[in-house]
Structure 1
Amino acid sequence: MTSTIDPEQIQAAANRRGRSLAVLCAMQLMIILDATVVTVALPTIQADLGFSAAGLAWVMNSYLIAFAGLLLLAGRIGDLIGSKQVFLAGLGLFTAASLLCGVATTPEVLIAGRFLQGVGGALASAVILGMIVGLYPAPGEQARAMGVYGFTSASGASIGLILGGVITQTVGWPWSFLINVPIGLASLALAVRLLAPQRGLGIGAGADVLGAVLVTAGLSLAVYTIVQTAEPTAELPRTLVLAAASLLLLTSFVLRQARATQPLLSLHIFRKRQVTVANVIVVLLFAAGFGFQFMTALYLQRVLGFDSLQTGLAFLPAPVLGAVMSLSVGPRLTVRFGSRAMLLGGLSALVPALVLISQAPADGSYLLNVAPALALVGVGTGVGIPAAIMLAMSGAEPTDAGLASGLNNTAQQAGAAVGTAVLATLAASQTAVRVSEGAAEVVALRDGYSGAFIAAAALALAALVLAATALRPSRH
């Protein structure tokens, strides 16, 4: 007796996978939108809740510290108890924390809500990549799925700037957070129904409590060390002590993993050169890309005089071209030429974009100096980010999917945090020097941003050289 394959069943399975992918990407989009929407709303939040200038930074920092610090641990928890369970917990907590932020009437409540958002975002985000790889194991389908995810990651920040400007100037900053509540509840209901149940390895298979404490404390302190350098009260000796402490914690974590019978982070994953090199490239790529978006928003507002709505709309070329490349063109080219070739192409577009905008003058034109750079960034990140993520996830065993996903997300967040903090500090320092030399404020600001853009170009160039020399050619 021969069995026949029901085309309707095949189509139903494909539709279910598509809806599952949509739910996963909706969560990732909420996470990225939340960070950038809040960036645009910060001045209004400061005025309404009475934040000090130093305290306002913690609206961002409390989220970053919790998110980056917990990603590796969250990824491993996904391997142990099941990715679906961890994703649902993270999505639920992120939604509840968004409600808390939206109704906050004091700085303390908002900062606490942002910290809880970071915890929920880490839990959900850490397992998303592993779940996508599980849904789409075939190279061609995986390239298309990663294109959707890559668009979400690459263009979410630009979309957030646009949405943030609209929300802040129409219905008020609380809706920057409250908008997550209906989206989160709908996504939670769909996730419960659509995502396939997954059995984990069991807590006994890898509950390295000491390792979890060391890596979470080390990563959180490292992010705190980075972000506090931009504060006016930051002092070099204190920063060096914090950096040494975070390095000691992370070194102790690595030594612990080398000896633990059930390590939180199996160091064997770093023996795969493709995974290790690709994650380094992800750090550099996100440092350059997110630093670029942050500095460009400042240039538009403080040099060209754009308001928050104009600033958001100015970013449109990046997400539009990013969508075209990551959702349509990129996946087809990836299947034909391989992920490495697409990564090289994306980085080759990103480097000149950053050099181009570094030359924008104090009396610059949006159409001549900014829009072309944004278009190139949209093309570069649209093909480069999905390719880098696919390479970083390549070679991971199914039992390490959550670990590899958490590691890659940690690389993304570390890159974004480091890039933004370092470039902002560099720009502020250069601006201060130019002011002390007697330059007009707008000229000093422009010079500071120019130096930051050149530094971002150097990061992207380093990623390009590394991809060309250390990554093996790959067809997927």
Structure 2
Amino acid sequence: MTDPAPGAAANVPAGPGVALASAQGRWIVLATVLGSTMALLDSTVVNVALPHIGVALGADMAVLQWTVNAYLLTLAGLILVGGALGDRYGRRRVFVLGVVWFAAASLLCGIAPNAGVLVAARALQGVGGALLTPGSLALIQGSIAAGDRARAVGLWSGFGGVGAAVGPFLGGWLVDGPGWRWVFLLNVPVAALCVPVALRHVPESRDPQAHGRFDVLGAVLGAAALALLTYALIEARSGSPLVIAAAVGGVLLSFAFVYVERHRADPMMPPDIFASRQFTAVNLVTLCVYAAFGGFFFLVVLQLQVVSGYSAMAAGAALLPTTALMLLLSARSGALGERIGPRIPLTVGPLLCAAGMLLMLRVGPDASYVQDVLPALVVMGLGMVALVAPLTATVLSSVDPGRAGLASGINNAAARAAGLLAVAALPLLSGMGPDAYRSASEFDAAFGRAMLWCAGVLVLGAAVAWTTVRTPAPGACHPQCHTYCAMSAPPLEPPRTAET
């Protein structure tokens, strides 16, 4: 799905490819949907289980943060490498490896005896996610007939949207029923179905122009910088010399990452792609928007359970309106954005999301779902509808077509890194203590401060969009952007040729 080699073309078959209406075409879509749904569900169901995980393992707030961030850290740091491995060694091969890896790590999460093992297993899950996530859509683009690809991507996205919608509800049902460990164990039977389908029915594809060199140093430096900065933010309250050393080390490694990428022949993140002011501007908006989203979705299910007294299933189900709006209206939003340009949607969308987060300030003890929770989530969902599809389309239209996969991969990694840092920083900024989630009054006060921070970051994103984003040239937007429903990060777009 990503292409670290600047300008590399996709290995899209020139011939007919596999017809979507054929049995093999349907099997291909099923395999890719199963794989991508595993990773998508994991990013939505785990948050619902966090209070129960904390109580069961005797964990403090920092462990809950690491339960989310260990996964995001390895996923964000390695997702570009995962796409490159698929392009060069076979997308099906790397996809299947990712599914098996993800399932094995999920099993380890499900049987984790303590918080340390759980966090380590979550980091391993992120490695599996980085291997399978880029391949899910790239397999469709590399094997389905050209005339059917848009429809196949629509099916892939639609089923993914359904997965995103039912994920929190399913997670809550599992937590309230068999227990939080089944949130992770559920991935094992899904993988057991996905792997044989992929091996039997999905043809192999790769990029013949891809070479064997990888920017391993760049990937290691980027991931290490994120890890140290995340540790420094989560553990900042201790004020220990180790925290200060981690913060300094993270900043130094960030500069080292930029230096290496500027001087390598084949960098993971070529600096010259940021010569496009539009690309740079949209990525700044992405950082603001997905930082706020990451913080919001991490904290809102805790607020509903800890403060408002919702069960895990009720807290998960409470989020359904936001995803349903995304699923139903994303295509229309993409078409509208192409007609009027991205500047207005990328300005209005974050402002609506900010308004939704401010409305969440009304959600406290014994909150009414219809009067307090639902209006906030509807406004939030409308804001997400307004901005997500135009944001993706603008990313792809801001660079040469041959670099669309690279641009999308960078944008996706930026969104995940923003969410990672937000989950690390928000509890610190809002004054959450180590045991905040055990006290309704303490958590409620900190949640209110966190929503103000999130709303402020969204207003900043809207200001950046209004002052820097411009309408791309006519016809520059890729029509498949209209089919996506993406909440945790913008959708990845594989490298493509003109015919796709």
**Band of TM-score, shorter chain:** 0.7 to 0.9
Alignment of 1:23-42 (within 5 A): 23-42=31-50
Contact 1:29 1:156 in 2 (8 A): yes
1:89 to 97, 108, 111: 97
Counterpart position of 1:6: none
Contact 1:158 1:312 in 2 (8 A): no
Residues 1:419 and 2:442 aligned together: no
Counterpart position of 2:394: 391
Contact 2:47 2:301 in 1 (8 A): no
Residues 1:353 and 2:356 aligned together: yes
Aligned-residue offset at 1:120: 0.6
1:9-39 CA distance string (max 9 Å, x none): 7992477777656644543432232133223
Distance 1:78-1:46 versus aligned 2 partners, 3 A rule: same
Q: What runs of 5+ residues in structure 1 fail to find an aligned partner?
A: 1-8, 434-440
Counterpart position of 2:289: 285
Aligned-residue offset at 1:236: 6.7
Distance 1:57-1:340 versus aligned 2 partners, 3 A rule: closer
Alignment of 1:285-364 (within 5 A): 285-326=289-330, 328-334=331-337, 336-360=339-363, 364=367
Q: What runs of 5+ residues in structure 2 fail to find an aligned partner?
A: 1-15, 478-500
1:74 to 52, 62, 82: 82
Residues 1:165 and 2:172 aligned together: yes
Alignment of 1:35-434 (within 5 A): 35-46=43-54, 48=56, 55=63, 57-126=65-134, 145=153, 149=157, 152=160, 159-192=166-199, 193-194=201-202, 197-204=205-212, 206-229=213-236, 234-235=238-239, 238-326=242-330, 328-334=331-337, 336-360=339-363, 364-396=367-399, 400=403, 402-429=405-432
Contact 1:61 1:224 in 2 (8 A): no
Distance 1:377-1:190 versus aligned 2 partners, 3 A rule: farther
C-alpha separation between the residues in 2 aligned to 1:224 and 1:418? Answer: 10
Range with greater deviation from structure 2 (463-472 or 358-367): 358-367
2:457 to 416, 434, 459: 459
C-alpha separation between the residues in 1 aligned to 2:98 and 2:405? Answer: 14
Alignment root-mean-square deviation, CA:
3.8
Letter in 2 for 1:219: L
Distance 1:103-1:223 versus aligned 2 partners, 3 A rule: same
C-alpha separation between the residues in 1 aligned to 2:455 and 2:17? Answer: 46
Number of aligned residues: 455
Aligned-residue offset at 1:473: 1.0
1:75-117 CA distance string (max 9 Å, x none): 4434444544433322221122222323444545433332211
Counterpart position of 1:438: none
C-alpha separation between the residues in 2 aligned to 1:351 and 1:49? Answer: 34
Letter in 2 for 1:234: S
**Overall identity of the aligned pairs, in %:** 33
Going by fraction, where is helix more abundant, 1 or 2? 1
C-alpha separation between the residues in 1 aligned to 2:264 and 2:43? Answer: 36
Distance 1:196-1:380 versus aligned 2 partners, 3 A rule: farther
Aligned-residue offset at 1:245: 0.9
Distance 1:50-1:445 versus aligned 2 partners, 3 A rule: closer
Letter in 2 for 1:194: V
Range with greater deviation from structure 2 (64-73 or 254-263): 64-73
* TM-score, length-scaled by structure 1: 0.81
Letter in 2 for 1:34: D
Distance 1:397-1:135 versus aligned 2 partners, 3 A rule: farther
Distance 1:427-1:27 versus aligned 2 partners, 3 A rule: farther
